[in-house]
A and B are shown apart, each in its own frame.
Chain A
Amino acid sequence: MPVKTTENGEFKPLIVAFCCNWCSYAGADLAGTSRLSYPADVKIIRVPCSCRVNPLFILRAFQRGADGVIICGCHPGDCHYTTGNYYARRRMTLLFSMLDYLGIERKRTRVEWVSAAEGVRFSEVMNDFAKHITELGENKKLEDLRCKKSLD
């Protein structure tokens, strides 16, 4: 399992961000080029479109110990593939509505729209989400018991 504490014992969340290639990943690049910082806890996975994000990926991340998962896509109406982000929105709404039932706090997930021109917004979104997840604390509800066993 990942190490989630700093040397002084502070909680460091593990956050997985799925970013679409055309808007949000470019927005993240722009945040970088503009030197707009956000916590190193956020690790980005590039996908062609937010509609490529299978709900399975999110559950897998939580299962493997992620504390928060964020999905970023183009603003509604701006999808490079016309309708991909609408699919993502619907799928995520459905998935999120079932998370509590699955044993994951609903608040650990979020969908945000960030365009390629919104470096500032990308950094703000990530700062806010990381702060929010830090406050929520470690994701203990869904643990892969097999992993735990092998550690013992």
Chain B
Amino acid sequence: MHRIGVFVCWCGTNIAATVDVKAVAEAARKEPGVVFATDYQYMCSEAGQALIRQAIKDNALTGVVICSCSPRMHEATFRKTVQAAGLNPYMLEIANIREQCSWIHKDIKEGTEKAIILARTAIAKVMLNKPLTAGESAVTKRALVIGGGIAGIQSALDIAEAGYEVDIVEKQPTIGGKMTQIDKTFPTLDCAACILTPKMVDAAQNEKIKIFSYSQVEEVKGFVGSFKAKIRKKARFVDENLCTGCGDCTSKCPSKKNKNEFNLGLDNRPAIYIPFAQAVPKVAVIDAEACIKKKTGKCGLCEKVCSAGAIKYDQQDEIIEREYGAIVVATGFNPIKLDKYDEYAYSQSPDVVTSLELERLMNAAGPTQGTLLRPSDGTHPHTIVFIQCVGSRCDDARGKSYCSKICCMYTAKHAMLIREKYPDTDVHVFYIDVRTPGKNFDEFYRRAVEQYGVDYIKGMVGKVIPHDGKLLVQGSDLISNEQVKIDADMVVLAAAIEPDPTARSVATMLTASIDTNDFFTEAHPKLRPVESPTAGVFLSGVCQGPKDIPETVAQASACAAKVIGLLAKDKLLSNPCVARADESLCSGCSVCQNVCPYGAITYEDREFRIPGPKRSEIRRVAQVNEAVCQGCGACTVACPSGAMDLKGFSTKQIMAEVDAICR
């Protein structure tokens, strides 16, 4: 016998203003199986919950329907309430009469009618609910951080500080990320390397942190609390444990003309190299495509000069399998490619550079040792034009619709640094808007204009024409409404930033969602900004959206706090709404196994009694691994025998809902 109780919430006036809550309770009382129905101002309040608990006890209720806000809001709250009264927490259904009724309908009659239908739909469903028990799973007390830039390093340091193990997986030969390439940081103008490299060393020396550099996560299986990852440690042909980072090999290597990625191709590096002086780990790596020994079998100079005997030409990629309780995504960003921006002559003239290339040209560890020289002829530029929003806030398919957020500030920084170092250099900045929200940001920009005399021109550049070793910049000044022509020595493009190209594959691997721009989506834009909707996956840094360094570090620490909160638990409750096969109906056809995105379905031979002289037969039937099943329900529809069903969303339950709506 069903004994259902219905509780209609007013939500103050949020529901009661457009839904006659008393009429809803009245109508619910008439539904078969309902023995109790009432309304109350705030069901989620302590008094409201006490009312529910009391009613369950007084009326010996077997199921509860709460007509209130979205189940996404308070389902967990009310599950605890009914559980406290001795009922199974899954004997509860919520009729969403706020978000999907009272808030969108103005007419009280219409709202009430719909609320009554939603209530009876929930009643029809709860009658078919079965008590479910959440399984428990253990938590592996180790976190995986994908990406070793400032975001990943900060998250890892904070997690390690709390006493948990952390692995950082970085695809480059060194950790540090984009920040290693930056010269100075806004708005304080402190040296990026001076604040970053100590953190890199801290990470390397922390006994809780293990760094897998020159490695990539290839596969992630499992779920929150027990992920299993496969990490490919690419062969660097140098033994990490033996290499001392002395650099003898790099100076002797005869294959010297290879693009130096760290300096964005502005100079060359040998085939065996250490990315930069402060690299962590400071271990050489051989670029197999450039190495003469790897290509022709002759040479072997580096092996001869290496006193540590660290060179291993026959080293192979290594696959490492590790288990984790939580995963932090810190895959970062890249400036967009500018090959489609012909109007700015980026691919035609070496003197048209991106802002990140300018960072290298102004960096003491860069190709020019910090002296700003034109890449074409090595002379000092006397007129420099900055072009903002190259690919940002862009309507066409070449660029991005969003604001990259950091460009206004770094351009002000560049302009200021150039004017400081070379006061005879004219600096012009073409902009759409100057956006400087942030602590001390606007003051910084105004200093560039007022104190350093940087010429800001509101307007876009139409064309950059290389001529006689110079660059003719043609643009418009929207304030004076005049065409502007500037004969520049260098042009700097503030290229939009986009998520790292690996973001999409990482998202797929983790079943975390990304938006149309490939930025990772957060679980809630305001209230859960560092969690991905996928349990156990957390977001750190620019992978979630454009950010500057302070924001990235803040988010990375927030992310670490969430990870620590998870790792501190000894047990996690798993979702009991998972698939189940009815063995008597299953024909073992494997259709469900093929559609299952988690590989949760296996087959087992079972003995069944059958009529006839044989008495029994062995049949292959599907088995769902409840710890692996995530409860999507793909198998339930695919099953040709109707043997698969989903607990909590069973075929009968949904059919009952359809019937209740269409009654």
Contacts of B655 in A (CB 8 A): 56-57, 60
Q: Please encode chain B, from 643 to 663, with 1 for each CB lying within 8 Å of some chain A CB and 0 for all others.
A: 000100101001101110111
Distance (Å) between the CB of B516 and the closest chain A CB? 8
In A5-49, which residues have CB < 8 Å from any B CB?
14, 16, 21-22, 25-26, 28-29, 31-33, 35-38, 40, 43-49
A16 touches B661 (CB 8 A): yes
Distance (Å) between the CB of B541 and the closest chain A CB? 20
Known: A29-B72, A80-B534, A82-B508. A52 touches B110 (CB 8 A): no
Partner of A84, one of B104, B634, B661, B662: B634
Known: A29-B70, A80-B534. A48 touches B637 (CB 8 A): no
Distance (Å) between the CB of A30 and the closest chain B CB? 8
Contact-residue bracket for chain B = 35 or more
B638: nearest chain-A partner, CB-CB:
A87
B99 touches A29 (CB 8 A): yes
A81 touches B632 (CB 8 A): yes
Tell me whether A91 is interfacial, beta carbon within 8 Å: yes
Tell me whether B216 is interfacial, beta carbon within 8 Å: no
B637 touches A54 (CB 8 A): yes
Contacts of B521 in A (CB 8 A): 78, 116-117
Distance (Å) between the CB of A43 and the closest chain B CB? 5
A43 touches B118 (CB 8 A): yes
Distance (Å) between the CB of B661 and the closest chain A CB? 5
Q: How many residues belonging to A are interface residues under a CB distance threshold of 8 Å?
A: 52
Partner of B631, one of A31, A48, A60: A48
Distance (Å) between the CB of B94 and the closest chain A CB? 9
Q: How many angstroms from the CA of A117 to the CA of B651 in the assembled complex? A: 29
Q: How many angstroms from the CA of A31 to the CA of B96 in the assembled complex? A: 13
A14: nearest chain-B partner, CB-CB:
B662
Q: How many angstroms from the CA of A43 to the CA of B631 in the assembled complex? A: 23
B105 touches A48 (CB 8 A): no
Contacts of B107 in A (CB 8 A): 40
B634 touches A46 (CB 8 A): no
Known: A49-B633, A64-B662, A81-B511. A40 touches B105 (CB 8 A): yes
Q: How many angstroms from the CA of A45 to the CA of B95 in the assembled complex? A: 10
Contacts of B104 in A (CB 8 A): 31-32, 35-38, 123
A87 touches B99 (CB 8 A): no
In A83-121, which residues have CB < 8 Å from any B CB?
83-84, 87, 91, 115-117
Distance (Å) between the CB of B201 and the closest chain A CB? 39
Q: How many angstroms from the CA of A77 to the CA of B521 in the assembled complex? A: 13
Known: A16-B661, A26-B72, A65-B662. A52 touches B632 (CB 8 A): yes
Distance (Å) between the CB of A93 and the closest chain B CB? 14
Partner of B99, one of A33, A43, A55, A77: A33
Distance (Å) between the CB of B507 and the closest chain A CB? 9
Distance (Å) between the CB of B435 and the closest chain A CB? 22
Contacts of A49 in B (CB 8 A): 632-634
Tell me whether B319 is interfacial, beta carbon within 8 Å: no
Contacts of A37 in B (CB 8 A): 104-106
Contacts of A48 in B (CB 8 A): 577, 631-633, 646, 649
Q: How many angstroms from the CA of A99 to the CA of B595 in the assembled complex? A: 24
Partner of B103, one of A32, A55, A79, A82: A32
Q: How many angstroms from the CA of A89 to the CA of B657 in the assembled complex? A: 22
B646: nearest chain-A partner, CB-CB:
A52
Contacts of A28 in B (CB 8 A): 99-100
Contacts of B101 in A (CB 8 A): 40
Contacts of B533 in A (CB 8 A): 22, 80, 116
A83 touches B597 (CB 8 A): yes
Contacts of B70 in A (CB 8 A): 25, 29, 32
B633: nearest chain-A partner, CB-CB:
A52
B111 touches A54 (CB 8 A): no
Tell me whether B121 is interfacial, beta carbon within 8 Å: yes
Tell me whether B23 is interfacial, beta carbon within 8 Å: no
Distance (Å) between the CB of A33 and the closest chain B CB? 6
Distance (Å) between the CB of A95 and the closest chain B CB? 11
Q: How many angstroms from the CA of A70 to the CA of B352 in the assembled complex? A: 53
Distance (Å) between the CB of A136 and the closest chain B CB? 17
Contacts of B110 in A (CB 8 A): 40
Tell me whether B243 is interfacial, beta carbon within 8 Å: no
Contacts of A21 in B (CB 8 A): 72
A64 touches B658 (CB 8 A): yes
Known: A32-B70, A81-B632, A84-B632. A74 touches B106 (CB 8 A): no
Contacts of B634 in A (CB 8 A): 49, 51-52, 81, 83-84, 87
26 contacts between A and B (CB under 8 A): A22-B513, A29-B70, A29-B72, A29-B96, A32-B99, A33-B99, A35-B104, A37-B106, A43-B118, A49-B632, A49-B634, A51-B595, A51-B632, A51-B633, A51-B634, A54-B651, A60-B655, A60-B659, A64-B658, A78-B521, A81-B597, A81-B630, A82-B511, A87-B638, A117-B515, A117-B521
Besides A35-B104, A60-B658, 17 more A-B contacts (Cβ < 8 Å) are A14-B662, A25-B72, A36-B104, A40-B105, A43-B117, A49-B634, A51-B633, A52-B637, A52-B646, A54-B651, A56-B651, A64-B659, A66-B662, A80-B511, A83-B634, A87-B595, A87-B634
Across the A-B interface, give the 9 residue pairs with the lowest CB-CB distance, nearest first: A32-B99, A52-B633, A64-B662, A81-B632, A51-B634, A49-B632, A32-B103, A29-B99, A40-B114
List B residues at the A interface (Cβ < 8 Å). 70-73, 96, 98-101, 103-107, 110-111, 113-114, 117-118, 121, 508, 511, 513-516, 521, 525, 533-534, 577, 595, 597, 630-634, 636-638, 646, 649, 651, 654-655, 657-659, 661-663
List A residues at the B interface (Cβ < 8 Å). 2, 14, 16, 21-22, 25-26, 28-29, 31-33, 35-38, 40, 43-49, 51-57, 60-61, 64-66, 74-75, 77-84, 87, 91, 115-117, 123
